[in-house]
Amino acid sequence: MIMSLLGLLALSAAGDGGPIHRTTIHHGAVPVNVDYRAAITLRVRQAGMTPPTRLGVVRCDWVARVAVHRSMERPGAASAPNRIVADDFELRGNRPGTCSAARKAIDAEVASRDADVRAHLLAVADRDRTQLLAELETTGTSPHSAH
């Protein structure tokens, strides 16, 4: 019995091309431009048996983890560093066969769930508003400290 396990192969499925939500909030009289970007990391694990001289039973289990990165900038101020504000959303599935053979099908399945990723991105942006305003207050980025 041969057991095939591919270690966690982390590949960026979305990279810089992931869904983006842009919004502007007003902190005092100063507009703050905020971008929320979904970055999708795909992990695959191959499991199964391929006995000699017989057909094997191999499958590819996959998990696409969605991390939401926030960046913000204000006119006349340095940009704040990017920050991960959520990384708790996952898409899961499996495909028959090896992970390398199923790669295109997995990519297509993840892409077909774009509406779920976008809905999560909007929900995170909505949840993050209170935290973002609190961070602006505590970091001293009031309208009078912009210069």
pLDDT digits (tens, 9 = 90+) for 4-62: 323 223 333 334 457 889 988 887 778 889 999 999 999 999 999 877 777 778 999 99
Structure tokens at 25: 């909030």
pLDDT digits (tens, 9 = 90+) for 120-134: 999 999 999 989 888
Backbone dihedral angles phi then psi of residue 58, each to the nearest 5 degrees: -125, 140
What are the domain boundaries of the chain?
11-139
Structure tokens at 18: 């992931």
Selection from 61, 36, 63, 34 nearest residue 47 by Cα: 61
Structure tokens at 27: 């902190």
pLDDT-based confidence at 107, cuts 50/70/90?
A: very high
4's enclosing H/E stretch is none
Amino acid 69: pLDDT:
95
